[in-house]
Every structure is written in structure tokens, then in C-alpha cells.
A and B are shown apart, each in its own frame.
With several copies, the nearest count.
Chain A
């Protein structure tokens, strides 16, 4: 089980801010493929991975980084703070 968080328009498209997911995905990219296969709203949110960022346990990471041992994955668009 892993906590998956969504922010900004990713959250809006999926329709929830976080969920617990049962997965054996090896990477965030694999996890996205599993989610996209579930429902259209995930497919809509993850249509263009190049427009998204991922954080593993609150550190920015690559979509091909290992998920082993990670407790919290977050998906969101590029940041626009400041």
C-alpha cells in the first residue's frame, strides 16, 4: 500500500486529493500506467507526463526512479510559486 497525492489540476481532474493504492509498481511510470487503466479521469489527468512532476516521499524524482520503500507518491503540474 502506498499513499498517492494529487495537486492543482491533477487533483481536480482525478477528483480527489489523495488515496491509498495497492500496487506492486516498480516506478512512478508503472504506477501511472496502472491508474490510467482504471478510469478515464486518470487517463485525462495523466495524458501528458511531460507536463507533470512527481515527488517520492516529498522529494522531486524521476518517473523512472524506484518505488521500493517509498510511502508517499505525489503527482502535480510544474510549480508556480514565488
Chain B
């Protein structure tokens, strides 16, 4: 189980391939969140709470590995100023069967969205705005 919190960019394809290499799993799922530009975005600024971030993500990953039979799990989350198109974060899960890998990846994403201390701010040409939490993200937790 690997957790990395970093400002540096990463190549989600290379990370996914490195994650899967050598695992005995038949099923590998990756999710990657990218900076989307709905128009006029200069950058996404991501603030986090050092110390609590690693602790919260570690607890979420531990819960996922307790619920599903995983051969591996990976979480990478960036902070700082990210230009459009760059990856913000990724999760990867590996399991014997696809249902477990998919469920664990969705669980990790749902909890990372609402329980890991990151805050996104959109920097536009005309100003800045904190991204508001979506009710749908909080609601997503109730299915687990």
C-alpha cells in the first residue's frame, strides 16, 4: 500500500504500470483526476493540511484493505499550483476479481473527495474562486 502527497507532476500511465508490475492480480483499476478547463482557467491551486493529509489518506486506505481482498493499493495526490490538463491525483487498486478492484477504487475516491484535507481554488484570468463541496460527494459516502 503506497500513499504519496507531492507537488511534483506525475505520469499516471507510468505509475499505473509500475504499480501493477509483479502483482499476482488479475484485475487492476486506476482512476485519475485531471485539471479540467471549463474555459478561462489559468491554474488549479490545491491547499492541504500537512500531517493530517497523510493520516487521513492512510486511514481511508486501511479501511479499503479491510473491506476488500486487495493485492495492492496506491494513492497519489498533488498540492500546489497545477496547470490545466495535468493530473491532480490518482488511485490504483489490484485484486483477483474485477468487482473488488472497482469497488475499492470507488470507495477510495469517495472518501478522498470528502475526508482528506484538500481544498481546490480555481485561478482564472478574472479572479479566484474556492471550489464548493458538492452535496453529491457527501451523499456518495452513504453507499458504503
CA–CA, A65 to B138, complex, Å?
A: 21
Q: Mark A1-34, 1 if CB is under 8 A from B, else 0.
A: 0000101110100000000000000000000000
Select B116's contact among A59, A74, A81, beta carbons within 8 Å. Answer: A81
Would A55 and B49 count as touching, CB distance under 8 A? yes
Select B77's contact among A5, A59, A76, A81, beta carbons within 8 Å. Answer: A81
Would A81 and B117 count as touching, CB distance under 8 A? yes
Interface residues on A, range: 10 to 19
| A7 contact set on B, CB distance < 8 A | 47, 49, 117, 119
Q: Mark B105-117, 1 if CB is under 8 A from A, else 0.
A: 0000100111111
Q: How far is the CB of B55 from chain A (nearest CB, A)?
A: 5
| B130 contact set on A, CB distance < 8 A | 8-9, 77, 80
Please count how many residues in chain B sit with their CB below 8 Å of the partner chain's CB atoms: 30
Q: How far is the CB of B117 from chain A (nearest CB, A)?
A: 6
| B120 contact set on A, CB distance < 8 A | 80-81
Count contacts between A and B, CB distance < 8 Å. 74
Would A81 and B133 count as touching, CB distance under 8 A? no
| A74 contact set on B, CB distance < 8 A | 49, 52, 117
Tell me whether A60 is interfacial, beta carbon within 8 Å.
yes
Can you add 5 more A-B contacts, CB < 8 Å, to A79-B113, A81-B113? A7-B117, A8-B121, A55-B117, A74-B52, A81-B118
A selection of 16 A-B contacts at a CB cut-off of 8 Å is: A7-B49, A8-B47, A8-B121, A8-B130, A59-B52, A60-B115, A74-B49, A76-B117, A78-B114, A78-B133, A79-B113, A80-B130, A80-B131, A80-B132, A81-B116, A82-B118
